[in-house]
């Protein structure tokens, strides 16, 4: 799954988003492209739960690719 997260701007953001997702799925693989402000997630979680996890940390996201 790939998400657009426009508030991503630094390594703190990367860490916060990654930890939020991994709190819901410890086996999730999370990759962040700061330049494009995109997060790619490989997880058994539904996209909506990944979006919720990021939003709870202050990083609203929208699904680009399922």
The 3-class secondary structure across the chain, one letter per residue, is CEEECCCCCCHHHHHHHHHHHHHHCCCCEEEEECCCCEEEEECCCCHHHHHHHHHHCCCCCEEEEC
pLDDT tens column, 11-66: 999 999 999 999 999 999 999 999 999 999 999 999 999 999 999 999 999 999 98
The pLDDT score that the predictor gives to residue 38 is: 98
The pLDDT score that the predictor gives to residue 66 is: 85
Q: Residue ranges per domain, the chain? A: 2-65
pLDDT tens column, 5-21: 999 999 999 999 999 99
The pLDDT score that the predictor gives to residue 52 is: 98
CATH of 2-65, one of 1.10.10.10, 2.40.320.10, 3.30.70.100, 1.20.200.10: 3.30.70.100
């Amino acid at each position: 799954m790939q998400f657009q997260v426009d508030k991503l701007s630094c390594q703190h953001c990367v860490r916060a988003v990654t930890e939020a997702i991994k709190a819901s799925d410890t086996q999730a693989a999370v990759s962040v492209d700061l330049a494009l402000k995109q997060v790619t997630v490989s997880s058994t979680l539904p996209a909506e739960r990944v979006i919720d996890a990021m939003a709870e940390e202050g990083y609203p996201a929208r699904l680009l690719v399922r």
